[in-house]
A = this chain, B = another copy of it.
Amino acid sequence: MIRVLLVHDACLVRSVLAEWLRREPGLGVYDTPWHQATARMRSVVPDVCAADLDGSDAQGVPTLAELRKSDPRRPSPQLVVLASANRPGLLKRAAEAGALGYVDKEGAPERLVRAIHAVAEGERFVDDSLGFGFLKAAQIPLTRRELTVLGLAAGGASIAEIAGSLHLSHGTVRNYMAAITRKTGARNRIDAIRISQGEGWL
């Protein structure tokens, strides 16, 4: 029996998907929204965590890496993510968190079952259709620091507030913003935020 914890935010969809997975022999399926995921990881102790990446960038949810390591007394579960090729930033974060399985949301649901079985055996599973997303993930034009600055700006912080929270001068923050706008090919700051959110970098 493979114990699976399904992490997805909308209850309606999550319930139906969990019920669908439960018909598969050999799977014990539990489910949780993102904001309760850490606590559920500790109580369920799954072999495999199957997580919808789209909820993983909301405020107040654990990062994928935190999720995997949420119980330090036990080995980390294997991680399967539900992903889209058009959000390469999320794919990159999943790879950094050590996810073994990558299932395209645009594919057939049977792929998720195959991915769960593969990663439970310690094998990689990557949908071919996500290849372009991984290619783009390798080409994110912004540094980690620039992404931090842009993330604060996207949250509504002013130049002064960003400078204060990162202990930088106003001029340095302005230079970062100018570099970000240039490197993303944006017309202005708002455009840079739009592009970066659309690509899933933020």
Residues on A lying within 8 angstroms of B by beta carbon are: 10-13, 15-17, 19-20, 82, 84, 103-109, 111-112, 153-158, 186-191, 193-195
A201 to B155, CA, bound (A): 17
Contact (Cβ within 8 A) A12 B156: no
Take A20-B16, A109-B16 as given contacts and tell me if A194 and B11 are in contact as well, using a CB distance cutoff of 8 Å.
no
Q: Which residues of B contact A112 (CB under 8 A)?
A: 12
Q: Which residues of B contact A82 (CB under 8 A)?
A: 12
Instruction: Specify the chain B residue showing the minimal Cβ separation from A82.
Output: B12
Contact (Cβ within 8 A) A12 B190: no
CB within 8 A of A158: which of B12, B17, B188?
A: B188
A34 to chain B, nearest CB (A): 13
Q: Which residues of B contact A105 (CB under 8 A)?
A: 10-13
A200 to B104, CA, bound (A): 26
A192 to B16, CA, bound (A): 36
A111 to B16, CA, bound (A): 12
CB within 8 A of A190: which of B19, B109, B154, B187?
A: B154
A99 to B107, CA, bound (A): 30
Q: Which residues of B contact A154 (CB under 8 A)?
A: 190, 194
Instruction: Specify the chain B residue showing the minimal Cβ separation from A104.
Output: B12
CB within 8 A of A103: which of B12, B107, B108, B194?
A: B12
Contact (Cβ within 8 A) A190 B188: no
Q: Which residues of B contact A11 (CB under 8 A)?
A: 105-108
Instruction: Specify the chain B residue showing the minimal Cβ separation from A59.
Output: B198
Take A15-B108, A16-B16 as given contacts and tell me if A195 and B156 are in contact as well, using a CB distance cutoff of 8 Å.
yes
Contact (Cβ within 8 A) B156 A190: yes
A113 to chain B, nearest CB (A): 11
Name the residue among A11, A13, A153 with the largest chain B CB count within 10 angstroms: A13
A128 to chain B, nearest CB (A): 15
